[in-house]
Amino acid sequence: MAILVGQNTKVICQGMTGRTGTFYTERAKAYGTKVVAGVRPGKGGTRHLDMPVFDTVAEAVVATGATASIVFVPAPSAASAMIEAIDAEMPLVVCVTERVPMLDMIRVKHRLQGSKTQLVGPNSQGVLAPGLCKIGVMSTVHERRGRIGIISRSASLTSEIVAQTSAAGLGQSTTIGIGGDAVHGLGFAECLDMFMADPETDGVILIGEIGGSEEEQAAEYVRANRPRKPVVALVAGRHAPPERRMGHAGTLTIFGREDAEPKIEALRSAGALIAPNAQTVAETMRRALP
């Protein structure tokens, strides 16, 4: 079993008719994901990739029974696309769009309150349940079905850790890219809670980085709940210069705050196992498993 997605997840693509939406929708279908429709205002009633296209998410949900949406809408309109899906009561929305304005995301977060939607992203590589469902832009070259959950802020490090856990014979139950922006949907703590409740996940790997407070919130969750499943953490950016953005909006330390060492110490003191570097993450998890 996976969390968030599974083999019966029905997916629509907001922005499917664009170049990027077309490319990744084709890849998702080839992987076996049940993509059922696209949404593009003004193109309702047409077909693309041999699937129906609707003007609105609400119409697509009624016609197809979709339970998840992936957003390939340019940054200026991405928040409106997410809000449309939230208003249509879409259970899961995955937004891969980068550079969504922060004030736009504050509007999205406000709309999420009390809604039936779980949001992953923006600036996310997506959600992958190996062999079952791919909603995102991640590589599937090294993924293997297994029992390790991965939650990450970094797309490139996710690819590395997926390859490591596969090579170590551990595999992955679900991989979630929570996104690298400062304001986003699901975070480490919420995903940890879902993995701890999943009977087919034996351990969880957190891939964090400087900036924000995701790692501290994860540490609070581990400290409060004392999970029986091992939690292995890697926090990237120990040598990053202060007050300089590293890669994206969430990776920034200001006046010595939010840097790697306090995050590492918070996770270690809470009970998480700290991988000393990216090369040792899978081995640290392997040793931690019963």
The pLDDT tens digits for 30-53 are 999 999 999 999 999 999 999 999
Rounded CA-CA distance 121/108 in Å is 11
pTM of the shown model: 0.94
The stretch 97-122 carries a mean pLDDT of 97
What is the pLDDT, as a whole number, of residue 239?
A: 61
Residues with Cβ within 8 Å of 252's Cβ and at least 6 positions away in sequence, in order, are 210, 211, 243, 244, 245, 246, 258
Q: Please tell me the predicted confidence (pLDDT) of residue 212.
A: 86
Residue intervals of the chain classified under CATH 3.40.50.261 are: 141-290
Residue 256 pLDDT:
46
Decide the pairing of beta strands 231-236 and 273-274.
Answer: parallel
Q: Which amino acid is at 238?
A: R
pLDDT value for 255: 43
> How wide is the angle at C-alpha 15 spanned by C-alphas 144 and 157, nearest 5°?
35
Q: Which of 99, 234, 79, 226 is nearest to 164 (CA)?
A: 234
Grade residue 254 by pLDDT with cuts at 50, 70 and 90: very low
pLDDT for the residue 258: 64
* Half-sphere exposure (Cβ direction) of 78: Cα atoms closer than 13 Å: 27
Which of 217, 228, 167 has its CA nearest to residue 195? 228
Per-residue pLDDT band at 94 (split at 50, 70, 90): very high
Span 121-176, pLDDT tens digits = 999 999 999 999 999 999 999 999 999 999 999 999 999 999 999 999 999 999 99
- Mean pLDDT value across residues 253-275: 83
* Architecture, CATH, for domain 141-290: 3-Layer(aba) Sandwich (3.40)
Across 281-290, average pLDDT = 97
Determine what percent of the chain is predicted with pLDDT higher than 70: 93
Q: Cβ distance 94 to 70 under 8 Å?
A: yes
pLDDT-derived band at 259, boundaries 50, 70, 90: confident
Tokens of 132: 């079952």
Catalytic residues: 248
Which pLDDT value is given to residue 117? Answer: 98
- Cβ atoms within 10 Å, residue 27: 16
Mean pLDDT of the chain: 94
Cα separation, 69 vs 73, whole angstroms: 12
Predicted confidence (pLDDT) per residue in 218-245, tens digit: 999 999 999 999 999 999 877 666 655 5
Pick 1-123's CATH classification: 3.40.50.720, 3.40.640.10, 3.30.1370.100, 3.90.1150.10. Answer: 3.40.50.720
Asked whether 93 and 57 are in contact (CB, 8 A), the reply is no
Alpha-carbon gap, residue 62 to 169, rounded angstroms = 42
CATH 3.40.50.720 boundaries in the chain? 1-123
Location of structure tokens 């900036």: 211
Is pLDDT at 181 greater than 80 in this prediction?
Answer: yes
Does residue 263 contact residue 251 with C-beta atoms inside 8 Å?
Answer: no
Question: Over pLDDT 90: what percentage of the chain?
Answer: 88
